Amino acid sequence: MSSLYLRYFDDGTAEYHDSQHIDLTKPIPLSRKKLPIGALNKLRSLVDLPEIQQLAGSYERDDLGIFHETLEISLFRDGHVQRLFFVNFDSHREADGKRSYPEEAVRLGCMIEHLRHKVLNTKWEAEECKKLLELK
């Protein structure tokens, strides 16, 4: 099943599918919410970093079982699209203490999760992400 995790526009409007409250016999309704301009500025600052602009392709964490969920990220830049695929994205470290993704990919994934929780108005408890993004 495909769903729109989060689509964010320059005016601060976010679109998403609320996959927590769906009826699988019907199309998932598209929801919209306007977020504060500060949230947009934080996202812009992050995606404009050279380290984020250099990310490419697919990053996968395969230690989370046989079920795979892919977070597909499309960043529109100067007439082209930077496409990233985070398979089984999780900000936590693996058992050996290493990350499955480059730190820049984790920061981007964390920011997307943070904004989604703001849109859904739900509590976000990802302490490692909060530290990485310097959020309180």
Distance in angstroms (rounded) separating the CA atoms of residues 65 and 49? 32
Give the pLDDT of residue 101: 82
- Average pLDDT of 23-52? 86
- Average pLDDT of 19-34? 76
DSSP assignment, residue 86? E
Please choose, from the candidates 84, 15, 80, 16, the residue with its C-alpha nearest in 3D space to the C-alpha of residue 46. Answer: 84
DSSP assignment, residue 134? T
- Cα end-to-end distance, the chain, whole Å: 33
Distance in angstroms (rounded) separating the CA atoms of residues 101 and 99? 5
Is the distance from CB of 19 to CB of 31 less than 8 angstroms?
no
Kind of pairing, strands 80-87 and 57-60? Answer: parallel
**Residue that is written with structure tokens 């250099």 in the block:** 54
> How many other C-beta atoms can be found within 10 angstroms of the C-beta atom of residue 47?
18
Instruction: pLDDT band for 63, please (50, 70, 90 cuts).
Output: low
Is the distance from CB of 87 to CB of 61 less than 8 angstroms?
yes
pLDDT digits (tens, 9 = 90+) for 82-127: 999 988 887 776 656 676 788 899 899 999 888 888 888 888 778 8
Please choose, from the candidates 37, 34, 31, 43, the residue with its C-alpha nearest in 3D space to the C-alpha of residue 13. Answer: 34
